[in-house]
Amino acid sequence: MPITTHELSRLRIAVREHRPDAPTRRVLLVHGNVSTSVFFEPLIEALPDTWHIVAPDLRGFGATEPKPIDGTRGLRDFSDDLAELCAALGWTEDVHALGWSVGGGVAMQLAIDHPGLVASLALVAPVPPRGFGGTHGPDGEPNAPDCAGSGGGTVSPDFVAAIARGDRGSALTSPRTILRTFLFNPERFTPTPEQEEAYVDAILSSRTGADHYPGDGVPSTSWPYVAPGTRGIANAFSAKYLDLRPFADIADKPRVLWLRGDKDAIVGDASLFDIAQLGKLGVVPGWPGEAKAPPQPMIAQTRALLDRYRANGGDVREVVLEGAGHTPFVEQPDRFREALVSFVMNPQDSM
């Protein structure tokens, strides 16, 4: 699928785009961390031909200009980029946004900051409302005052180094192994060789370092003895800077579809990317126990937010795809497409 670019005032942004002659829906697809819009190509090809679909590469990934990421703004560097892209497209309302993983948080931030822009919001395995790592309880309270256990310093340096050197091998911490083991449920899905190479390319396109992936960290007196810095994407989705809980209270409420796989090893209540869960399993030494550093209840935290959203008058539908992992739109394309198209095309349906 060809990539085009839009020269915005904020940055030069690359997009995969399907533009029909007479569009019936405006659809924005937002990818997650350490990936690009290439993951959406099969979905774009399967969606209705009458939809105008735009799938950008976020800053720091793919073919988009790698402007620095200010972690202290939470995910607003990304959502502000997308708001300007929508304006350049002439999309001032009725946007149907889909956000996958960290992209789910970006899409929620877009809805918070730009009332009336988003008509519906599909959250696919979304980052929890207070970010990733270092929190407990349904409201996402930090385990330590400095949010130790989250941010750039908690990311595997071996994985970052593998990306930086363009590693296409199959070592334990290589992009290929992480892709095969964690992005999909390997017991139920294997990508084609062509898909796998495209997805490895996407991971390797990630800009690494303090300004990008994963960002910087600072020492902490709380386990695991590292807290968020101020730069890069992993700090942008730390509870120190990210708080999507205002989403529940926005006045202009888009309809919400929460769609996830029940075998997701990345965003789940026992995530193998949560350093507290790894501590509990003995992978990271020195874990101080459940009282001080419990594994993050990611599903419960998202559910608590969406329950508040519903209680405040919002419409929410939850769809769980049995056997799917972190990329249900790739792993179970037919079931995913059916759920998404029904959601977008039938706003009158009861949630």
Per-position DSSP letters for 128-143, written without gaps between them? PTT-SSSEETTTTEES
| Within a domain: 192 | yes
For residue 160, pLDDT beyond 80: yes
pLDDT at residue 165 in the model: 97
| Within a domain: 350 | no
Record the tokens describing residue 296, joined without a space: 């993050």
pTM over 0.95: yes
| Within a domain: 308 | yes
pLDDT at residue 323 in the model: 97
Record the tokens describing residue 110, joined without a space: 């877009």
User: pLDDT tens digits, residue range 161-203?
Assistant: 999 999 999 999 999 999 999 999 999 999 999 999 999 999 9
User: pLDDT tens digits, residue range 288-311?
Assistant: 999 999 999 999 999 999 999 999
Nearest by Cα to 95 from 170, 176, 26 = 26
Provide the pairing of β-strand 255-261 with 316-321: parallel
What is the percentage of the chain residues whose pLDDT exceeds 90?
A: 97
Range of the domain at 251: 3-345
| Within a domain: 156 | yes
H or E stretch covering 170: none
Beta bridge partners of 26: 52, 95
| Within a domain: 133 | yes
User: pLDDT tens digits, residue range 330-349?
Assistant: 999 999 999 999 999 988 76
| Within a domain: 186 | yes
Question: What is the C-alpha separation between 250 and 237, in angstroms, rounded?
Answer: 20
Q: 28 near 79, Cβ under 8 Å?
A: no
Record the tokens describing residue 176, joined without a space: 């290929």
Beta bridge partners of 29: 98
pLDDT at residue 348 in the model: 73
Indicate the number of domains in the chain.
1
| Within a domain: 150 | yes
Confidence grade of residue 143 (pLDDT, cut at 50, 70, 90): very high
Provide the pairing of β-strand 51-56 with 217-219: unpaired
DSSP 200: H
The CATH number of residue 129's host domain is 3.40.50.1820
